[in-house]
């Protein structure tokens, strides 16, 4: 069950903690903890809400630790709670959006796809990518922002089309 829902948990945590590397660490921790607590899970209840509640607490703990340890930009606890609730509700329609996104990704030009791949592969920082491409980090961020905007527009359009039919 845990193995199946890891992707949902990943999206959930990424919403609460903007830093991707934090999320990778925390996802491991959460999965391990959920596994250890598996006896307290009642199989007749939905798995995800249980897992999300747990992940939210872990994220809160992580944040407290982080903000103590170093000066990192993180959301404060109240917002985090609110985002957690919103994300869980947003989850219900996630599959349709992912489906639309898959179609939209196909419409990108190869260079745009390459940029997304480079950005999200996690092997280079944004600064390294920008340096490699000979542009400033700010202009790369702007490029990514436009791409995200275009993709979201496209997803929105596809969803509206689907609703219409």
Partner 1 sequence: MSVPVPPLTAISLAEPDAELLTTICRVCDGEATRADMDRLEQLLADPAAVTLYLAVRELDATLIWKTRWRRPWQPPHLAAAAAGSQSNQPTLADRLESVFDLVATVVGTTLLSLGRWLGSRSAVALLLTLTVGLGLAAAWQAGLVAEPALRLIKTVFERQPPRLPGSVACVTALHDVTWAVTDVTAQPAEPPTRFASLFPGQWFDLEAGLIEINFDGGAVALVEGPARFSIAGAGACRLEQGRLTATLDKAAARAAGLQARFAVETPTATVTDLGTSFGVAVGAAGETDVSVFDGLVELLPRSEKDDAFKPAKRLRLLAGESAVVATDRQARRQAAQVDFIRTVPGRTAVDQQPPLPFSWKPGAAAIIVAESFAGSGPLHGSTPASRGGTGTEQWRAPRDGWQRDPAQDAVTVTQAGSAFLPFRPQRGFLYRLSITTTTPHNPPAAVGLGFTPAADPNQLDIDFAWSHDPSTSPSGASAVGAGGSVTRTVILDTSMAEWRLFSLANNRLVGQSVLPRQARQIRYLTIAVSANSPITFHSLSLALQKLDRPR
In the window 27-86, what residues touch partner 1 (CB under 8 A)?
Answer: 27-28, 31-32, 35, 38-39, 43-49, 71, 73-76, 79, 81-83, 85-86
Radius of gyration over alpha carbons of the chain, in Å? 18
Distance CA 141, CA 147 (A): 10
User: Rule CB under 8 A: is residue 120 a binding residue for partner 1?
Assistant: yes
Q: Which of 124, 137, 139, 165 binds partner 1 (CB under 8 A)?
A: 137
Q: Which of 15, 55, 62, 63 binds partner 1 (CB under 8 A)?
A: 15
Binding-residue total with partner 1 (CB under 8 A): 85
Q: b/e string for 75-104 if b means 16 or more Cβ within 10 A? A: beeeebeebbeebbeeeeeeeeeeebeeeb
Stretch of 5-13, 53-61, 62-70 contacting partner 1, by CB under 8 A = 5-13
Residue pair 147/116 in contact (Cβ under 8 Å)? The answer is: yes
Give the number of residues written for the chain. 165
Stretch of 53-61, 62-70, 90-98 contacting partner 1, by CB under 8 A = 90-98
């Amino acid at each position: 069950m845990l193995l199946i829902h890891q992707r949902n948990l990943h999206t959930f945590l990424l919403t609460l903690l903007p830093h991707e590397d934090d999320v990778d660490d925390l996802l491991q921790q959460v999965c391990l903890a959920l596994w250890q607590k598996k006896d307290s899970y009642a199989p007749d209840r939905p798995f995800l809400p249980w897992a999300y509640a747990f992940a939210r607490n872990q994220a809160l703990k992580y944040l407290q630790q982080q903000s103590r340890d170093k000066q990192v930009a993180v959301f404060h606890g109240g917002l985090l709670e609110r985002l957690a609730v919103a994300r869980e509700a947003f989850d219900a329609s996630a599959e349709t959006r992912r489906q639309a996104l898959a179609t939209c990704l196909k419409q990108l030009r190869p260079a745009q796809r390459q940029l997304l791949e480079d950005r999200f592969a996690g092997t280079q920082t944004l600064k390294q990518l920008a340096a490699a491409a000979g542009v400033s980090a700010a202009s790369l961020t702007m490029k990514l922002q436009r791409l995200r905007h275009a993709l979201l527009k496209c997803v929105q359009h596809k969803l509206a089309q689907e609703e219409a039919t």
